[in-house]
Structure 1
Amino acid sequence: MRGKFPWATHLIILVCSKRAGERVLGSITRYLSSKLKLEINKEKSQVVKVNQSKFLGFTFNRGKIKWHAKTLQKFKQRVRQLTNRNWGVRMEYQLYKLKQYLQGWINYFGIANVYQQCVEQDQWIRRRVRMCFWRQWRKPRTKVQNLLKRGVPERMAISCGITSKGPWRSSKTKGIQQGLTNNYLATKGLYSLKEGWIAIHYPLKRS
């Protein structure tokens, strides 16, 4: 079928050497251009080592599928937007939108061999969510009262409530972690990348 197609396709070809890669790239480019009349994106068409390649957001290392660095960078940028402490919406809505994004993201990128990275990202995301809670409580009295409701000892709750630390630094303190535990955040709807990854790779263990 001749003519320009209104869609783009991605193709990765594995060869044994850089010289072979350059030869194959040249012949494939000529074939697609002359025979199929397709326009080739020369910026994205390149010969690189497998672990330096990017294919649909993934890269490959020692036979395993990994997230490309740019994929993770874009992911974290979006999470920062969704956990902006100055967003001005209720935490229920913020967590709902965050769950939507995380669940959709891991359903696509969860095929990668990245269990430990999921654990690490979960830790980072929980800290950002704690920061949002802390910011929304605003007044020291409200902060202390909310921590006391969640079982934090009075002395520790007061110390956290009157601290001069900003929301991000405060989110790592023992009192706030004790008041906003992982289990508590999960009950409020915080989605876990780790659990999503396990559901993809070990579905029978969850049934």
Structure 2
Amino acid sequence: MRGFVNYFSIANCKRELKALAGWIRRRLRAIQLRLWKKPSRLHRRLKQLGKKPPFKFIKMNSWRNSLSPLSCVSMPNQWFEELGLYPIEKVNTGWLALSAFRK
């Protein structure tokens, strides 16, 4: 991802990179929900984060539920950065990136 973003960083595409980063995080949430398989594992993660039950049961293999508040709370954006996901929405684009290449 780092190489992809640096290749396109000379373009003025900040908004597109932000949308792409959101889509990638949503896709990773959907994959993680599918790996957990059961809502009880999601609820265990929410309890570890200090959230109070009762929690709503959701389908664990649904793309739609990867955007639900339960999955977003259990897997926040900082969680992905801690795991090593490159934050592509924070890359300088446009003229700022072009001036960095000239130095």
Which category of TM-score, normalised to the shorter sequence, fits these structures? 0.7 to 0.9
The CA deviation string for residues 119-176 of structure 1, in whole angstroms up to 9 with x for no partner, is 11111111111111111111222221122213333223xx1xx323643111111111
Q: How many residues in Structure 1 have an aligned counterpart in Structure 2?
A: 98
Q: Secondary structure at the match of 1:119?
A: helix
Contact 2:21 2:88 in 1 (8 A): yes
One-letter code of the match for 1:134? Answer: L
Structure 1 residues not aligned, in runs of 5+: 1-101
- Which residue of 191, 195, 198 corresponds with 2:92? 198
Paired-residue identity, %: 27
More helix by share: 2
* Aligned counterpart for 1:122 among listed residues 15, 21, 44: 21
Question: What's the offset of the Cα at 1:116?
Answer: 0.8
Partner of residue 77, structure 2: 182
Structure 2 counterparts to residues 1-207 of structure 1, below 5 A: 102-156=1-55, 159=56, 162-164=57-59, 166-195=61-90, 197-198=91-92, 201=96
Contact 2:27–2:66 (CA<8 Å) still a contact in 1? yes
Contact 1:130 1:176 in 2 (8 A): yes
Q: Aligned equivalents of 2:51 and 2:31: distance in 1?
A: 18
Give the letter for the 1:103 counterpart: R
Question: Which residue type is aligned with residue 92 of structure 2?
Answer: I
Higher relative contact order (CA 8 A, sep 6+): 2
* SS of residue matched to 2:92: helix
* TM-score using structure 1 length: 0.42
The 4+ residue runs of structure 1 with deviation greater than 4 A are none
Offset, 1:113:
0.6
**Code of the aligned partner of 1:194:** E
What TM-score do the two structures reach when normalised by structure 2? 0.79
SS at match of 2:59: coil
